[in-house]
Amino acid sequence: MDTVNSTPAPAAKKGPSARHRLLDSFATLYKINSFILRFFKEAFLPPFELKEVMRQCYETGVRSFTLITFTGFVTGLIFTKQSRPSLLNFGAQSWLPSLVSIAIMRALAPLITALIAAGKVGSSIGAELGSMRVTEQIDAMEVSGTKPFKYLVCTRVLATTLSIPILATYTGFVALFGGYLNVATNEGTSWTTFWEQVFEPLTFVDFVASLAKAIVFGFTIGIVGCYQGYYSTKGTEGVGKAANGAVVTAMFLVFVEEILIVQIAGWFR
Amino acid sequence: MEKAKVNIDHTNPVITIRGLEKSFGDYDVLRGIDLDLYQGENLVVLGRSGTGKSVLIKIICGLLKQDAGEVSVLGHDVANIPDRELQELRTRIGFSFQNSALYDSMTVRKNLEFPLVRNRKGITKKEVNESVERVLDAVGLSHTINQMPAELSGGQRKRIGIARTLILNPEIMLYDEPTAGLDPLTCIEINDLINEVQQRFNTSSIIITHDLTCAKSTGDRIAMLLDGQFQRVGSFEEVFDTNDERVKPFFEYNFIQ
């Protein structure tokens, strides 16, 4: 027997109106803006938490070392290997070191480092601060007359801003070393010739743009991770969301910044 | 342990609250609270979960802002003082959190040192060590000094949380559910510790709880929070000597069980 569902369909649940969503977006933008301004206001005023900054540099920098080394090396090696056939078609395989150098030093090294740091460091900052928020550790710092923002946020943002440029430079050289191994094996290029060809096409603007990118990426990863964690709510679910939000938002912003800085650097070339 | 007689200065309120109101969305949590906490007094705030007890003490120490009313702590209007003054005021208030809120990444020693070295400029290493040892001795946990919070039991965490607030020699203590989640014997130990802190450190305290044993053994005065207002305030016997149907079940559940 056919059955007819006589129960009326429930009315569609109304979500927040477009006006409310727009207002919420502005409120969030204002909150983010205040958070960034607060960082600049507090980070450069005493007391400086230098010991904690160093500890965070160790956490973000040294602890990412193995992953960065492996990723950088593989990127350089594979990029060189994949680029060879195209150059070979034009008999231009001698340009391989220059091509690899431009690609890695101008774009790949800061970008790869930032993406790895966003995943590893950003998520860890988001989760750690999120967990501290939901277990009231941040409130406990606040009520004991200390400055949790300075101790937790400023130190972490400074650490990522300082350590990611160093990591990006290191990634660049490891990737170039990967490229060298490939070139030396296939073309028999010497160590000296390879490095001469690597530095030949690079200009001062390339180094400055690359460094600027890494600094901006480092700041972004730190500030996004801290923001997501510091304002985390809703218990353990909130901690997961903070970690996830830190990674997704930081990666998105890193790509946007990459485009902007490439454009700006292009004006100076 | 029987609560010893304490001297309460009824002419000197350290916290004065008038017409305090606080809402979250459409939910009015506090609806016109009036309260005085006197020097040397342990005041217990009783009430069901979700009645705004914790909100009340978070407003007192400036973690939350009220919608209306005045809160004066040690002569300062908490809602309207500059950040720097609020920070200084907070060093005179100890806040013991429900879940202790110990810093996970630090040892017990570092947990205790954290507020001290940041609030006492120029303090020497020797003075820091002495203060740490003094408060650990006060809570009877000197042997845990190098342990991580994760290695401590629930009762030990509560005690260390109290020790961390005592290290700044606060004049006011705010306890948020000090016995929640603890076994009966540990509850008795925590109640005794609260009384000991009152006598030894000469503090005035607000104790938020729904544990009547805790209320009876630590409170000099009880305030029953119902429907966003203090419905009954007085000694333990005065508060529960009533036929009020909102109060009676609270008493019966705790003691008849």
- Domain chopping of chain B, boundaries: 9-101+170-256
- Mutation site, A137, A147, A151, A239, interface B, largest B CB count within 10 A: A137
Question: Using an 8 Å Cβ cutoff, are B209 and B215 in contact?
Answer: yes
Hey, are the CB atoms on B97 and A140 less than 8 Å from each other? yes
Which residue did the predictor score with more confidence, B243 or A157?
A157
* Residue B38 clears pLDDT 80, i.e. is over it: yes
Chain B hits for A131, Cβ within 8 Å? 104
Chain B hits for A141, Cβ within 8 Å? 103, 114-115
Hey, are the CB atoms on B164 and A144 less than 8 Å from each other? yes
Query: How confident is the model at residue A15, as a pLDDT?
Result: 64
Q: Name the strand (E) or helix (H) holding B34.
A: strand B27-39
Nearest to B119 among A136, A139, A146 (CB): A146
Rounded to the nearest angstrom, the minimum Cα separation between B225 and chain A is 24
pLDDT digits (tens, 9 = 90+) for B44-101: 999 888 889 999 999 999 999 999 999 999 999 999 999 889 999 999 999 999 999 9
Chain A hits for B91, Cβ within 8 Å? 144-145
Rounded to the nearest integer, the mean pLDDT of chain B is 90
Does the pTM surpass 0.90? The reply is no
- Mutation site, A144, A149, A156, interface B, largest B CB count within 10 A: A144
Hey, are the CB atoms on A146 and B102 less than 8 Å from each other? no
Place of tokens 């016995």: B179
Rounded to the nearest angstrom, the minimum Cα separation between B157 and chain A is 13
Dist. CA A168–CA A114, nearest whole Å: 8
Query: How confident is the model at residue B17, as a pLDDT?
Result: 95
Dist. CA B215–CA B218, nearest whole Å: 6
Average the pLDDT over B140-157 and give the result.
94
Dist. CA B116–CA B132, nearest whole Å: 9
For chain A, domain boundaries: 48-268
| The CATH number of domain B9-101+170-256 is 3.40.50.300 | yes
Reading chain A (269 residues) residue by residue, the pLDDT tens digits are 444 444 454 555 556 788 888 888 888 889 999 999 999 999 988 888 899 999 999 998 888 999 999 999 999 999 999 999 999 888 888 899 999 999 999 889 999 999 999 999 999 999 999 999 999 999 999 999 888 999 999 999 999 999 999 999 999 999 999 999 999 999 998 999 999 999 999 999 999 999 999 999 999 999 999 999 999 987 888 899 999 999 999 999 999 999 999 999 889 87
Place of tokens 């990029």: A79
Distances in whole angstroms, Cα of residue A215 to Cα of each of A42, A116, A221, A250, B188:
19, 15, 10, 14, 55
Rounded to the nearest angstrom, the minimum Cα separation between A232 and chain B is 16
Dist. CA B73–CA A142, nearest whole Å: 17
Distant-in-sequence, close-in-space partners of A213: CB < 8 Å, separation ≥ 6: A110, A111, A114, A168, A257, A258, A261
* Residue B153 clears pLDDT 80, i.e. is over it: yes
Does A46 contact B at CB distance below 8 Å? Answer: no
DSSP per-residue codes, A78-111? HHHHHHHHHHHHTT-GGGHHHHHHHIIIIIIHHH
Tally of CB atoms within 10 A around A158: 23
Nearest to A144 among B58, B62, B90 (CB): B90
Query: How confident is the model at residue A154, as a pLDDT?
Result: 96
Dist. CA A52–CA B55, nearest whole Å: 32
Instruction: Give the dihedral sign, CA B119/B120/B126/B127.
Output: negative
Residue B186 exposed, middle or buried by CB count within 10 Å (0-12, 13-18, 19+): middle
Dist. CA B71–CA B58, nearest whole Å: 11
Residue B254 exposed, middle or buried by CB count within 10 Å (0-12, 13-18, 19+): middle
Say how many residues make up chain A: 269
Average the pLDDT over B123-141 and give the result.
94
Dist. CA B53–CA A139, nearest whole Å: 17
Query: How confident is the model at residue A7, as a pLDDT?
Result: 47
pLDDT digits (tens, 9 = 90+) for B204-231: 999 999 888 899 999 999 999 888 888 8
Q: Which ranges of chain B would DSSP assign to H, the alpha helix?
A: 53-60, 83-90, 108-119, 125-138, 154-166, 184-200, 212-218, 236-240, 248-256
Closest CA to B101 of A131, A135, A123, A50: A135
Hey, are the CB atoms on B103 and A137 less than 8 Å from each other? yes
Question: Using an 8 Å Cβ cutoff, are B122 and B145 in contact?
Answer: no
- The b-or-e profile of A76-114 (16+ CB within 10 A means b, else e) is bbebbbebbeeeeeeeebeebbbbbbbbbbbbbbbbbbb
Residue A48 backbone dihedrals phi, psi, to 5 degrees: -90, 130
Say how many residues make up chain B: 257
* Residue B183 clears pLDDT 50, i.e. is over it: yes
CA atoms within 13 A on the CB side of B44: 26
